[in-house]
Chain A
Amino acid sequence: MRKKFLKVIFILYIPLLIFSLIWSYQQRQSLIQNLAEIEQRDISKKSYHLVEQTRYLVETTKFWSNYSFPTAFSQKFQIDSTFIKDYIKTVQVYKSYDQFRIIDLHGKEIIRFEKIAKDSMVQQTDLQNKIDRGYFQKGLSLKKGQVYVSPIELNREYGIIENPNKPVIRGVTPVFDVNGDQIGLAVINFNMDERLKLMKTSLVDENFYLIDKNQNVITTNLSENTSPHLTEMNKIDSLIYNKLKLTNLIFKKDTFFLEKGSLWVYRNVDIGFEKNIGMNRYEDVSEIITDNDWAIIQETPNSYITSRLQTIKNNLILFNILTLIVIVVVALLYARMQKERTDFIAQLKSKNTALIVGKAEIETTNQHVKNINNKLRVRNQQLEDFYYVVAHNLKAPVSSMSIIVDMLRKSKNEKTTLELLPKLATISNSITTLTEDVLTYVSILNNKDLEVENVNLLLMLKDLENEMLATLEDNNAKDFNIIYKLDAWHSIKCSKFYMKSILQNLLSNAIKYRRQDVDSHIIFESTWENNQKVLYVKDNGLGIDLDKHKDNLFKLYKRFHRNYSGKGMGLFIVKSQLEAMNASIKAESEEGQGTLFKIKFNQL
């Protein structure tokens, strides 16, 4: 019951569990895809602004590569002040525009404008030498018309990082005088502070990383430092650097993936030198030299993903609980139904068994009743025969006697008396004989406790044959054959005394009533019929006309052959003794052919 119950639950629940898990997994994948797409859109917006700013820097810087400086351009002999004022006035409006400088070929600043407040750029007289700065050295190698875009780094004045930190990006281009001789470099600084701050704003607590091609962090919301790899990394920066060593980021391709419990969205920033990414709104693309190969990574932390996945988890759990409840109910009902069915079948079986047993009992009883009935019928017949014998055979001499007595009484004649008296003696003799015969019969009828034993018919018949041989010799009829066909069975449980008497009677009858004109024989043949032992006794003697004598064949004092001595008791005794042993006898006969007796033995 319990096992079946669990089995049903298992069978029903497992597919649903698998289904719910697959469904949840797909939900989760779809959610992550969704999150990634949102992040990607955010990144592309951020990168668009970064690129926009860089382009503007390039364009602004490039302006100076086409400008013809006076031949004697120097600290003292500068360019037209009205022009530069107008220029400054124009560019200072732009928020990020932070510094404008012209540096000569020796690294010495010649012109230096610096934003000191919003919308206000002021020319500085405090000039520095930038000969050892990277952007200056890179700038020197530029050809006319080329613009170098520096990495984003913290601004330094006099070689020292400015405080407060100011992340800057520089555009550098060579400048020439009217004769086409290079007089130095134009350097424009854009303050990236605001841009980077904007980029660091997050939608859903994600972490923002702007990295270069070497996976160095330029800026991140996790650290105050900008491009720390260019100077000195502190502990936090190292941690961040290591954190970004992601196995899924081998190829620098736009992608997203889950790693270290977070959702990482990676996207390259295309500054627009390549025309294939929709950045070709600048028709005249400058030749830009840069080491900047930016990429943006946004990391959606595990906690946020978990919180978003919570709904799916809750749904999964809820679904499974409900499913389990339904399945348990169904399984309970099913198990109960099964149990009821099993019980019903068991009940049917036991009832059936009871019926079969009952039927067998009834059959046994029926058989028993039948047997008893049969015995009673036989016994009844025997009693009738007995009554008949007494009524007729005893009454006959008695009635004769009564007449004789009456006659004697009336007679005065001595002669008559002398005549009648011997008749009384005859009657007396016949009554004595009758009494003896009846007693024999009654003893057979009355024998309740018949002594039963296993009798070997063959041995018994052989003994009888030897006994009879003497008689046969006397009768000068040696050619009487006794034939045994006792292969089917030759032993039977019965009264030895009766059996001997029966066989003796049958055998002596066969000898007595044999035909003189043929070789006489008697055959004893045993066989089985309907599970019963049957003995056939067949002779080729005179036979009896059964049409005449059928009713009387086994009756007392019946005789069928004149000229043969006999009392007419043999077959009567045979039948009585067989009936006493619960056996029956039937005869078939034809005059001049022989007689066949069939003896059927019932189980004693």
Chain B
Amino acid sequence: MKKPKILLVDDDEVYLFVTKKILNNLSEDLIINAFTDGEQAIEYIDLCLKENIELPELILLDINMPFLDGWGFLAEFKKMKLKLEEQNVTIFMITSSNDPSDLKKVKDFEEISGYIVKPVFEDKMEEILKTVYNGSL
């Protein structure tokens, strides 16, 4: 059985550390990749497509980041969507922003499966994983 792949995109290194820890607590079989900005994440996905590496099933995406923010990432991601073929990628926005303008923007992207305001505690994360992997963990 292949291991679930999760991609974390957030410029907050403490958040990355903490989230990785939470995810590891939930399951030890996860492959977790993390990037501190959207640009690096997009480059990684591009690389995956080129090298035929399997894409992560779940992306936890922050909005406010340097170089390329969450929205920028989504815009680029949308462009690649055709190449994604059958691969199912679920994207959750995990952000500290509950700004109405951000909430409104969510509706422009059908790729977004959920919008969660930080902090994300262990139970919340468990819930997300259950939704995505449908109890197959």
Contact = CB atoms under 8 A, between A and B. Distances in A.
Contact of A395 (B14, B67, B96): B96
B27 interface: no
B13 interface: yes
Interface residues of A, number: 30
Contacts of B120: 403
Contacts of A423: 14, 17-18
Interface string A560-593: 1010000010000000000000000000000000
B81 interface: no
B99 interface: yes
A391 B97 CA distance: 6
B67 A562 contact: yes
Contact of A400 (B15, B39, B95, B97): B15
Given A392-B97, A426-B14, A558 B121 contact: no
Of A401, A548, A549, the most chain B CB neighbours within 10 A belong to A548
B14 A404 contact: yes
Interface in B34-73: 39, 63-64, 66-69, 72
A481 interface: no
A481 to B, nearest CB: 29
B98 interface: yes
B64 A559 contact: no
A557 B66 contact: yes
Given A399-B118, A403-B119, A392 B18 contact: no
B21 interface: yes
A400 B64 contact: no
Contacts of A557: 64, 66
Contacts of B21: 407
B67 A407 contact: no
B14 A400 contact: yes
A548 B64 contact: no
B66 A397 contact: no
B118 A400 contact: yes
Contact of B14 (A392, A427, A562, A568): A427
Interface in B1-47: 12-15, 17-18, 21-22, 39
Given A391-B98, A391-B99, A406-B121, A400 B18 contact: yes
A388 B99 contact: yes
A388 B15 contact: no
Contacts of B14: 397, 400-401, 404, 423, 426-427, 430
Interface in B81-132: 95-99, 118-121
A497 interface: no
B18 A395 contact: no
B12 A397 contact: yes
B70 to A, nearest CB: 11
Contacts of A392: 63-64, 95-97, 99
A396 B119 CA distance: 8
Contacts of B96: 391-393, 395-396, 398-399
A395 B64 contact: no
Of A387, A392, A401, A407, the most chain B CB neighbours within 10 A belong to A392
A397 B22 CA distance: 17
Contact of B12 (A396, A552, A558, A560): A396
In the complex, the 8 A-B pairs of residues with the closest C-beta atoms, listed nearest first:
A399-B119, A399-B118, A395-B96, A559-B66, A396-B96, A400-B14, A392-B97, A392-B64
Interface of B: 12-15, 17-18, 21-22, 39, 63-64, 66-69, 72, 75, 95-99, 118-121
Interface of A: 387-388, 391-393, 395-404, 406-407, 423, 426-427, 430, 548-549, 552, 557-560, 562, 568
Given A392-B95, A562-B67, 8 more contacts: A391-B96, A395-B96, A395-B97, A401-B14, A557-B66, A558-B69, A559-B66, A562-B39
